[in-house]
Every structure is written in C-alpha cells, then in structure tokens.
A and B are shown apart, each in its own frame.
Chain A
Amino acid sequence: MSGGLLGQVAAVPLFASLLTEPVSVAHYLVVGAILFAAGIVCMAVKRNALGVLMGIELVLNGANVNFVAFASPYLQGEGARGLGIDGQVIALFVILLAAAEAAVALAITLNFYNNHATVDIDRADDLKG
C-alpha cells in the first residue's frame, strides 16, 4: 500500500513535497517575486490610469510579503531569528503609505478625467514639449 503511494508521490515530487514539507522563507520570496513582477508588467502594459494604480498596489504588496516572511519567527530554520518585530512594523508602514498614495493617485485620476474626459494615460501629454 505505502509502496504504491510512494511511487505516485515520486511521479510528481515537487507538488507532493510542497504539501508535505514545511514551508521556508524561500517559498514566500517566490510568491513575493511573482506579485512584484506581475505588478511591474501591469504598470507597463495598462493604458488605463486605474490599471497602473492597481499595478503599484501589487508591487507594494509583493514587497510586503517579503518583509513579513523575513520577520516571521515561525518560518525561520533552526537557529535563525529573522527580522523580528521590525519587519512587521515596516510592513504596517508600507500598508499605510500605500493607502495614502492610492487616495492621492485616485484624486489625480479623477481630476484628469474631469479635464480630459478620459483615463487613457497616453493622452496625458499636455506637458510634452
């Protein structure tokens, strides 16, 4: 019984080890990297100002995942202590400043929409020489 199970486990070793092994800091770093890259691509690709704003949120969120992972005492290996409470406090400040940034950016977007009747950032070229 267990031999057959092990054979099936060996067939898909990565996914099975993900589910049975304890997670490490590197797991969180991978998630943070994917969020960060998705946010960068979102900022580069979107022509909608709100889409660019969502890309910024994703980037800040990816950075936050890294801070929390390094701060977590649970995720550290034997003997390591990590950032401790400092990483969590920094993550909190990032969340607060992201909220402030979102408020200002939305106000600018609304203002731009009132003036130009569009949120297409490719049309924001009034200052171009």
Chain B
Amino acid sequence: MSGILATFGAVTLPLAALNWHSFFFVLFAAVACACAIAVVLADNVVRMALYLVLSLGATAGLFFLAGAEFVGAMQLMIYVGGTLVLLVFGVMLTAQAPFVSIKTTTGDRVLAGVVGAALLAVLLQSAFSVPAWRQPAAGTVAAPAATPVGMALLGVRVDEPAAGSPQGAVRSGYLLPFEIVSVHLLVVLVGAAYLARAKKRKTPRAIEVAASVEPPASVAEHAAVGRGAGRATSVLSGGRS
C-alpha cells in the first residue's frame, strides 16, 4: 500500500498516510481564502462577483466537513443561490462600461493593506492562543445535526445538554428568534421592493443628470470628472461649492 504515492508539489506522501478529511479541508480552505483575496484584488465588478461565488461555495464545503450539513446546505441555497442572484442582477442593472471598474488610488490600497495585515496578525495570534483549540480532532462521529437544528427552531431541544449544565434544566429553543427573523425578512423584502421600484425621481441631481447632453456623454463625464473638482454646482448645495 505504501507503494502508492500522492505527490503535491515538493511533498510526496504514501497514499495510506493521507487523512482525507484534512485533505479536503486544505482543498476547500485554499479555494475559499484564495478567492476571498481575489475579490479584494480584482477591479472588475463581474469578476469580483464570480470570485465571491467560488469563495462562498468553498465555505459551504468547509461547513459540510465540520459536520454542519444543514448550515452548509443553507449556505449554498441562500448565499450562493439567492444573494449571488441578487448581486449579479445588481451588477447587470448598474454596470455601464465606465463604471464596471472604478480604480482605487495606490495610497488607499497600501493603507488598507497595512490595516488588513495588522488585523490578520491579531486574529491569527488569538486563534492560536488557546491550547484547547489546537487539539487535533478526536473524530467523534456525531449524529446528523439537521433534526436537532429543526427541532430547536421549533422550540424543542432534542440534543444533549452541555456538560456541566444541571440535569433536567429547561433549555430554551429558538422559536421566538425564528418568528422575529421571519417577520424581519418579510418587512425587509417589502421595504427593498419599495425602495427599488422603478419611478421617476424629481431630485435636483436627477434633473441635472437628465438635462445634461445625451446619456453617453454625461456618463463619460461622470466617470472622468473627479469628485469636487470640475463638478457643476448642485442645486442641493445652494450655489455654494
């Protein structure tokens, strides 16, 4: 069996020594992190959306590997299936050629990179600071979690109580948060439909935009003119620039 080798770059391992759970973890983690960084580095908004889809999908794989099947399935259906459809529609509705990539200045990039690196250093330090979190997985095979999650959302707990909690204590389910979230989603979607409905706005800026020459020229002007510098004085600012 040790004759069968798996080669990854400079590393050669006997196939039998490979921990397949760890292998798929490394695979999904690499895809998730690389695509997340690609979202930051990409300038084109369509490519950013594509990388975000890949990153969220790989994260769903990580959820499956952690034994959270229901959360992973919801991640695929709601994030990858729903949020990304929304995002792609947003991209399609707002993407005119000059606006697809809006460049950031190099100074801003460097500053954000420094802040991000500092934040990452702090988070990594705290991730490795607790010895209990570094213990390798004991490999406890747990029952599928979908039924306990569904019952908890209905307000009934069927999972085992945490170690140290008093026996027979009443543990709260999640029926009330579930109802609050459902009403919240309803209100939010009604509000979003109200905000996004097509209508003619009569704000000063809209009149100004509509009154300028033909649309392509005004679009190019908006893209070219930096903030403040050559902009026409808005009616909103009362003639003071």
Contacts and interface: CB of A to CB of B under 8 A. Distances in A.
Contacts of A53: 87, 90
B66 A28 contact: yes
Interface residues of A, number: 97
A40 B123 CA distance: 13
A33 B40 contact: no
Interface size class of B (residues with CB under 8 A): 35 or more
A100 B188 CA distance: 6
Contacts, number: 326
Contact of B234 (A61, A68, A109, A126): A126
A19 B189 CA distance: 44
Interface string A37-77: 11111101111101101110110010011001101111111
Contacts of A18: 22, 26
B203 interface: yes
Interface of B: 2, 5, 8-14, 17-19, 21-23, 25-26, 29, 32-33, 36-37, 39-40, 45, 48-49, 52, 55-56, 59, 62-63, 66-68, 70-71, 74-75, 78-79, 82-83, 86-87, 89-91, 93-94, 99, 101-104, 108-109, 111-113, 115-117, 119-120, 123-124, 127-128, 132-142, 145, 148-149, 152-153, 157, 159-160, 162-163, 174, 177, 181, 184-185, 188-189, 191-196, 201, 203, 205-206, 209, 218-219, 222-223, 227, 234, 236
